[in-house]
Amino acid sequence: MSGKRSTTYNVQPFRSNQEIDDFLFALRRNKHADRDVFLFLFAINTGLRMSDIVCLKKKDIVNSLNPKIIEKKTGKTRTLFLSGITDLIQRYTACLNDDDFLFPSNKGNSHLTVNGVYQCFQKAAELIDRNDIGTHSCRKTFGYHYYKRTNDIATLMMIFGHSSESITKRYIGITDDIISTSLIDFRLGF
């Protein structure tokens, strides 16, 4: 295969702690490792869309365990539940001012773009030989692990704003897992 990897639009979640650790290892090789690692951890622990994450400022998340944001895509108010990652947030934001972006751009006084995050993730994915990682991998990872832990698809549908169980299951990759598991020992004519 040539130096270019094939592009896939079948973006997958990180299904195991090992996959998450491998990606974190790759992100730590980036020039802005602290920012990129925090962004990834924040994303997989909140389930937010990347477009809602990149524009956050310190003041948006540090003054409450349950801050509210307005989702860009839907315009709906979403309550964040950050109690599980407060220590991570406090460490990362300790040197930031309230009006500082959590994820500053390398260029100018702005924040990372979703495309910038995508490019960062693509570099890290290449290091671990994955071609199925994108910005939605974080949201899917949150959903996948939430569902595996709770089996509560109804609440996950509400968190994601989906209209049906099948959409949510397909989005987080559970449908593929169920089909794969059901076919492991399936054989005919032997």
Question: Known catalytic residue: 49?
Answer: yes
pLDDT tens by residue, 143-161: 999 999 999 999 999 999 9
Nearest CA to 59 among 101, 104, 111, 109?
A: 101
- Our answer to whether residue 139 is catalytic in this structure is yes
**Superfamily for the 17-182 domain:** Intergrase catalytic core (1.10.443.10)
The answer to whether 73 is a known catalytic residue is: yes
- Which candidate in 130, 145, 162, 169 is catalytic? 162
Q: Which of 4, 31, 73, 107 is catalytic?
A: 73
Active-site pick, 58, 139, 145, 169: 139
Q: What is the pLDDT of residue 177?
A: 84
- 3-class secondary-structure state, position 101: strand
Provide the mean pLDDT of the chain: 93
Residue 173: count other Cβ atoms within 10 Å of its Cβ. 21
- Is residue 160 within 8 A of residue 151, CB to CB? The reply is no
Model confidence at 8: pLDDT above 60: no
- Clarify whether 187 is annotated catalytic: no
Q: Where are the domains of the chain?
A: 17-182
Kind plus residue range of the DSSP H or E element containing 53 = helix 50-53
Task: Please state, in angstroms and as integers, the Cα–Cα distance from residue 115 to each residue in 4, 58, 120, 189, following that order.
Answer: 19, 21, 9, 50
The string of pLDDT tens digits covering residues 28-40 is: 999 999 999 999 9
59 as an active site residue: the answer is no
